[in-house]
Structure 1
């Protein structure tokens, strides 16, 4: 029937909450990603948001993503291509890790990440703490 809504599943709920969190915090996330890029480059991998047990930031090493891709019969090949071609000075690329699922987070903030980092003028640790607190409040998983 048109217009009837299906009950929201846990899968849809965390994805919707994550989308809202990203939308509301684009400049802070861009600043964080740029700050971490300045500190580590690609050395530690792609920044991720692990939702378990409570939302927190992690690094997803390239080898771990490649191994996961092999385990899921190369269904993450597109994700690997996006990570490989990531331009940190113009876009944000992150991986969200939910219960048995992953979700790509990709956006081009305005202003770009280096400007966001400069304008917020906060160090990486302060940004991490602030964003993790906001995530915990937004992502009631």
Structure 2
């Protein structure tokens, strides 16, 4: 009987990742189930961040496949690859806000980069999003003016 997978699953098949000729992880086979929380644990320097960089398409694997809905991410035409990558979201440990931009500018950056929406529409959208997480009144603060928890919600 064939194993069933959700179209939202991320499948890693015989994945080898690293930098240059240095292999960090080899022959990784796993299914990261869609709609579930998956934790990647390991010692410092064990390859967790390297694996994540590859899973979200920032680095190309040395060998193997990363499949989203059965499609190999790195076999997609460039335009489709970019479309799939735009659906990814990553929360970095330190919040990863750009220090030279306000909270609102940081939150609105993907809309500025990937849409042709007017600035006023983007600003209104950003303020609604910040309102949902209790940060609307801090929209024009810079990251160094926010607490750690506020940065993560932004």
Range into which the TM-score falls when normalised by the shorter chain = under 0.3
Larger RCO (CA under 8 A, 6+ residues apart)? 1
- TM-score, reference length from structure 1: 0.25
- TM-score, reference length from structure 2: 0.24
